[in-house]
Amino acid sequence: MAFSELSAGEPLGRHLTVRRVESVESTATVRHVDQLETDELQAFYDLLEDGQPLPAEETALEAGDIVVFTDYFRVEAI
């Protein structure tokens, strides 16, 4: 499985990206990709496929979200 972390962009928190991570803190909230709402899922796929930051206001994903897909990904603010 994969884990993803979401992050936001310039200035901090205005854009989001995802980063593959190897481990997750035991206190982290983790959602499986199939638990995402339709718009969140599309935004997640866009972030993975395009590799371009996404304006934070265009999605309900938030920095710090952990998404399990084929690996772990963290949503990060940039």
pTM, two decimals, is 0.72
- Alpha carbon distance, N-terminus to C-terminus of the chain: 25
In this prediction, the residues of the chain whose per-residue pLDDT falls under 70 are: 1-13
Tokens of 75: 């949503």
- Specify the pLDDT at position 59: 86
What are the backbone angles phi and psi of residue 50, rounded to the nearest 5°? Answer: -85, -30
Let me know if 57 is exposed, middle or buried by CB neighbors in 10 A (0-12, 13-18, 19+).
exposed
Q: What is the per-residue pLDDT across 37-59, written as a single tens digit (0 to 9) for each? A: 999 999 999 998 888 898 988 88
d(CA 26, CA 8): 23
